[in-house]
Amino acid sequence: MKKPRVLVGAALNETIGSYLESFCDCEYCDANHLPRKELLGRLKDKEGVLLFGTKVDREFLDAAPDLKAVCNVSVGYNNVDVEEARERGITVTNTPGVLDETVADLILSLMLSVSRRIVELDSYVRAGGWKPSDGRNLYGRDVHHTRLGIIGMGRIGEAVARRAALGFSMAVGYNNRNRKPDAEEKLGAVYQDLETLLKESDFIVLMTPLTEETRGMIGRREFSLMKRTAFFINASRGQTVDEAAMIEALQNGTIAGAGLDVFEQEPVSPENPLLKLGNVVLLPHIGSATDRTRNDMARLAVENLKGILESGQALTPV
């Protein structure tokens, strides 16, 4: 029996790759670095694609007349024109759930790193600057027994709230489209309107998906509402924040600092003013980047692909 042909544009380990090849005829490529024209040329006979952030728009779909499945190895799917795919009968999937705890770990790492000046003081020690007389010059700010505000209380947000409330004795406020009764009961989380959350929180974590409603939702006004001692953490998407307004807030002392895993432009330009600021911790979009989690994401994406090609049913359709 002829196997369906699929384009694999995301990294797979040997075990997962062998499993995929047991039911698919695979063509591998680095989809995010392949010239667009060459990538489109490889789609004409493909029934499925396995991707990690590759742009899937009308041009992409036009080049793949036999396509049945677009499987993202990511919880986000703003790289895909979902409505256009749906109109063509193409199923789009993502990988929710399997990365929640790993991303939550990273968010706590950013909170600790920026507030306790971990990166800054590591560089200070390495440069030979540490002196016995430093004293208060090395002080940071506490995380424990402070107030955390979470914007976007999905699964990752709840995982962050659990760590904060139970591990660091933080008071947790949240803003979300829907109330979270379980988090309110078990973690003492308090629902707040956005303005109140911004005004009261010592740490503000942004975890909303990127939509037309959330694009640029944190801008100059929102930063002006935050405490001058507040730390802003973004591990959602760079475009949810007005980056110029954030840079201004960091430069002017409107907020104390920021921990960022995402940016408006990725990779970050060498000319980006963020690179020159000492009150910011910058990471290269590594929220889910551990071996185990990325392998779990890839396996879920492969299972989605298998389900669509064999029965038309996906485990986690968008």
Q: Is 266 a catalytic residue?
A: yes
Give the up-direction half-sphere exposure of residue 297: CA atoms within 13 A in the CB hemisphere. 28
* Given the residues 59, 87, 195, 266, the one annotated as active site: 266
Q: At what angle do helices 155-162 and 100-115 cross, to 10 degrees?
A: 50
Would you call 144 a catalytic residue per the annotation?
A: no
| Spatial contact of 280 and 302, defined as CB atoms under 8 Å apart | no
Q: Does the active-site annotation cover 195? A: no
Q: Which of 237, 294, 299, 303 is catalytic?
A: 237
For residue 292, count CB atoms less than 10 angstroms from its CB and return exposed for 0-12, middle for 13-18, buried for 19 or more.
exposed
CA-CA distance, 215 to 257, in Å (whole number)?
Answer: 21
The residue from 116, 141, 155, 285 that is catalytic is 285
Tokens 């016995």 sit at which residue? 132
Closest CA to 176 of 224, 222, 209, 216: 209
Sign of the CA dihedral running 25, 31, 34, 36: positive
Q: What is the DSSP string of 194-212?
A: HHHHHHH-SEEEE-----T
Task: Measure the CA–CA gap between 10 and 32, rounded to whole angstroms.
Answer: 9
Distance CA 203, CA 256 (A): 10
Residue 9's nearest CA partner among 63, 78, 73 is: 73
Catalytic residue numbers read 237, 266, 285
